[in-house]
């Protein structure tokens, strides 16, 4: 382990034994999260003005703080509007104008030295920012838009899954690390994450398509009885083994839950989403290869969006089919 790593031996041992570990106050939330939230306030303002101009909302709701404004804008427009804030692309129907956000505060967070120091303790000093990455803004389910046909929530809680199960098979041998942290307090009522300890020891489990909550490991394949909920404060970071079974609880509060869901892996290993661009976040061996320009990073995604919009069909993003016997 590098001397730069701020992981303790006990934390690393817990990760290997249980398949996850929470590091409390891993970074200064005022230094790293406040600029992010300000950036997302600007994104929301532009979105509100767009929807107002289109007649989809009756007010800009600009008298409200970010969380309350987000809820009102999404509830009235009957849309989660998540893609306007996300710094990845969807897995289908990508167009030249598919919205996404790759602002400098997001890029800075991906390269946060305190965060990378911890990541280095798990995967070593040659660190690649994997493009399987998202900001997730989850509304209170009492206000969340629903599908007009089925009545189902348009986003809802994330299903039980393994992160190795939502990438392509070329990344099966990749030492992929999941890094999750909230931008605001995420308690049980807000829909914090749950993990089932030691499930990383079981290897890859079958997954089934299961609506807006994403792929799901069937309950007859893996019990959730031993699940542990993990409330977290801003500055806390959860590290999850790519084989650990986890999900999110429903947001039963009156507030949004906003979080970052990131991946890192050693440089040179497949990312499991080859159509999307990653970048070298840290390299002791070749520091000149590190990407340090936020505009260059954003352009990588603009280029990827254009190429995918022009492609006749997207490649598969995972290996699962609803026709599998276990999904019946």
Please state the domain extents for the chain. Answer: 9-27+84-316
Determine phi and psi for 83, rounding to 5 degrees.
Answer: -70, -25
CA distance 295 to 104: 8
Structure tokens at 45: 């303002």
CA distance 319 to 120: 29
- pLDDT, tens digit (0-9, with 9 covering 90-100), for 202-253: 999 999 988 777 899 999 999 999 999 999 999 999 999 999 999 999 999 9
pLDDT band at 2 (very low <50, low <70, confident <90, very high): very low
Q: Worst-scoring range by mean pLDDT, 60-64, 142-146, 247-251, 310-314?
A: 310-314
Q: In sequence order, what are the residues at sequence separation of 6 or more whose Cβ sits closer than 8 angstroms to the Cβ of residue 325? A: none
Signed CA dihedral, 34, 35, 39, 40: sign only: negative
- Give percent of the chain with pLDDT exceeding 70: 98
- Strands 237-241 and 228-230 turn out to be unpaired
* CA count, 13 A, side-chain hemisphere, 236: 16
Q: What is the pLDDT of residue 218?
A: 93
- pLDDT, tens digit (0-9, with 9 covering 90-100), for 75-102: 999 999 999 999 999 988 999 999 999 9
pLDDT at 170 over 90: yes
CATH topology of domain 9-27+84-316: Jelly Rolls (2.60.120)
Q: What is the pLDDT of residue 4?
A: 61
Please give the model's pTM, rounded to 2 decimal places. 0.95
CA distance 147 to 299: 34
Mean pLDDT of 94-123: 97
Q: Worst-scoring range by mean pLDDT, 56-65, 261-270, 312-321?
A: 312-321
Q: What is the mean pLDDT of the chain?
A: 95
Determine which helix (DSSP H) or strand (DSSP E) holds 281, and give its type and residue range.
strand 279-282
pLDDT at 3 over 50: no
Q: What is the pLDDT of residue 147?
A: 87
């Amino acid at each position: 382990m590098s001397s730069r790593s701020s992981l303790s031996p006990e934390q690393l041992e817990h990760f290997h034994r249980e398949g996850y570990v929470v590091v409390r106050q891993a970074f200064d939330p005022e230094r790293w999260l406040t600029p992010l939230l300000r950036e997302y306030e600007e994104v929301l303002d532009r979105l509100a003005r767009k929807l107002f101009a289109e007649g989809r909302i009756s007010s800009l709701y600009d008298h409200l703080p970010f969380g309350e404004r987000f809820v009102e804008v999404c509830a009235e427009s009957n849309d989660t509007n998540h893609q306007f804030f996300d710094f990845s692309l969807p897995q289908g129907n990508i167009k030249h104008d598919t919205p996404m956000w790759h602002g400098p505060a997001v890029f800075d967070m991906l390269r946060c030295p305190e965060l990378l120091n911890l990541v280095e303790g798990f995967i070593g000093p040659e660190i690649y920012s994997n493009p399987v990455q998202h900001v997730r803004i989850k509304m209170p389910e009492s206000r969340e838009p629903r599908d007009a046909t089925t009545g189902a929530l348009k986003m809802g809680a994330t299903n039980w899954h393994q992160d190795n199960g939502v990438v392509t098979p070329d990344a099966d041998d990749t030492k992929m690390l999941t890094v999750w942290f909230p931008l605001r307090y995420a308690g049980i009522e807000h829909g914090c994450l749950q993990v089932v300890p030691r499930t990383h020891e079981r290897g890859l489990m079958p997954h089934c398509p299961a609506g807006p909550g994403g792929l799901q490991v069937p309950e007859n394949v893996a019990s959730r009885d031993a699940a542990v909920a993990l409330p977290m404060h801003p500055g806390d970071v959860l590290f999850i083994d790519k084989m650990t079974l986890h999900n999110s609880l429903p947001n039963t509060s009156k507030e949004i839950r906003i979080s970052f869901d990131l991946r890192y892996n050693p440089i040179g290993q497949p990312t499991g989403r080859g159509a999307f661009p990653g970048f070298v976040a840290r390299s002791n061996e070749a520091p000149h290869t590190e990407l340090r320009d936020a505009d260059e990073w954003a352009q990588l995604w603009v280029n990827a969006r254009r190429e995918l919009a022009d492609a006749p069909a997207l490649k598969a993003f995972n290996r699962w089919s609803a026709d599998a016997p276990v999904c019946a």
